[in-house]
């Protein structure tokens, strides 16, 4: 395993200039495009790291997996009356699709779907910011995880389209809370900063039938773990999800901070960070890294 990730790292460490950082979020525009890290965590507790694996970055939409897994045990099947389970085939912030489908987002990983999840969480957990941080810290086994207030403030100030998504859903009766309150919580969750090592550890419960191997806690049921993984496989990369499944063959989730996390159920989780993004908002080098990883390892979910 260590040999494989080191070989892949060496192969791609100088592969820069093929994408662009998420400069529409000003603090992310300042991140060096050369940053690159790979971390693997196995269900047996082995860890392998290479590159800038100790440096924290904004996980952005990867946080949507955390909020979904936090909400799923609280609401059960009623969640799927408010958000769908299908790939979008459209940009992650599409208003057109949401209007056409009468305020029901296609899945929890596009922005509208994640806003519904956050709205539902705030109904159940008024102090969501504190609970979410404690939740992520528990999954990762690290207390050194925080919101980045500069990133959150920047996203709140520039997030008019996301606010429009929330107002549109509210007009259809699929959004209960105050838009400004829910959107601020959403911006906070996207601003969470973690390293690839922390991320790989935090996702291992999805490779372990919903159980956090650090403490034996059943984070989500085995059934919910299966369902979250299936949604990551089909919807985790916006309208590039099909190509990711074809090239990599793993459930995973990306974020415009350049991070990607993927899992091999029963075996491991892997996190990659490389800030240069392709036109779909996914890490160019991250996808290539994971494609080579499953090829070299000879294991995927297929």
φ, ψ dihedrals at 21, nearest 5°: -75, 165
| Positions marked catalytic | 61, 64, 186, 238, 256
With contact defined as beta carbons under 8 Å apart, do 298 and 80 qualify? no
Strands of the chain, DSSP E: 37-42, 47-51, 57-58, 146-147, 192-194, 211-212, 217-218, 252-254, 259-264, 268-273
With contact defined as beta carbons under 8 Å apart, do 276 and 16 qualify? yes
* 3-class DSSP assignment, residue 233: helix
With contact defined as beta carbons under 8 Å apart, do 209 and 252 qualify? no
108 Cβ partners below 8 Å, 6+ apart? Answer: 64, 68, 83, 114, 116, 117, 231, 235
Structure tokens at 54: 């100790």
In whole angstroms, what is the distance from residue 28 CA to residue 21 CA?
Answer: 7
């Amino acid at each position: 395993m260590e040999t494989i990730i080191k070989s892949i790292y060496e192969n791609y460490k100088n592969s820069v200039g093929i994408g662009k950082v998420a400069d529409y979020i000003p603090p992310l525009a300042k991140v060096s495009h050369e940053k690159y890290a790979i971390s693997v965590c196995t269900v047996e507790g082995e860890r392998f790291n290479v590159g800038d694996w100790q440096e924290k970055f904004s996980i952005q939409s990867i946080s949507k997996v955390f909020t979904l897994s936090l909400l799923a045990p609280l609401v059960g099947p009623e969640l799927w009356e408010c958000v769908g389970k299908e790939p979008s085939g459209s940009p992650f912030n599409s208003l057109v699709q949401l209007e056409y489908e009468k305020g029901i987002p296609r899945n929890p990983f596009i922005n509208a779907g994640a806003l519904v999840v956050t709205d539902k969480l705030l109904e159940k957990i008024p102090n969501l910011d504190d609970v979410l941080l404690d939740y992520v810290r528990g999954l990762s086994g690290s207390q050194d995880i925080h919101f980045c207030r500069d990133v959150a403030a920047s996203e709140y100030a520039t997030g008019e389209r996301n606010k429009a998504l929330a107002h549109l859903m509210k007009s259809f009766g699929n959004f209960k809370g105050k838009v400004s309150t829910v959107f601020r919580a959403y911006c906070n969750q996207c601003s969470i900063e973690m390293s690839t090592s922390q991320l790989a550890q935090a996702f291992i419960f999805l490779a372990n039938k919903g159980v956090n191997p650090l403490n034996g806690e059943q984070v989500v049921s085995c059934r919910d773990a299966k369902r979250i993984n299936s949604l990551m496989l089909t919807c985790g990369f916006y309208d590039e999800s099909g190509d990711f499944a074809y090239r990599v063959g793993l459930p995973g989730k990306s974020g415009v901070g350049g991070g990607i996390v993927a899992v091999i159920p029963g075996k491991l989780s892997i996190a990659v960070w490389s800030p240069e993004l392709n036109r779909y908002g996914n890490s160019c080098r991250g996808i290539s890294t994971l494609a080579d990883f499953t090829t070299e390892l000879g294991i995927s979910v297929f």
